[in-house]
Amino acid sequence: MGVLRDQFVEYLTLRGFSQNTIESYTICVRTLAVYYNTAPTQLTEKQVRDFFLYIKNTKIFSGFKS
């Protein structure tokens, strides 16, 4: 996810997100990609929603809010 990750980090930085938030979001996107074994850009909206439900129900990310 090198180029895509860099673009994502740049976008979040320009939007004024803190370094901790950027790291958390990056980890979440990486976990999403690993969960589906595909690039985040190839995921459907349903897959992303299902993933959010999964992490909310399993409490993988304790601070996750939908």
With contact defined as beta carbons under 8 Å apart, do 65 and 21 qualify?
Answer: no
Widest distance between CA atoms in the chain: 32
pLDDT in tens, 28-62: 899 899 999 999 999 999 999 999 888 888 866 65
Domain spans of the chain, in order of start: 2-58
Structure pTM? 0.75
pLDDT, position 64: 55
Confidence bin at 65 (pLDDT 50/70/90): low
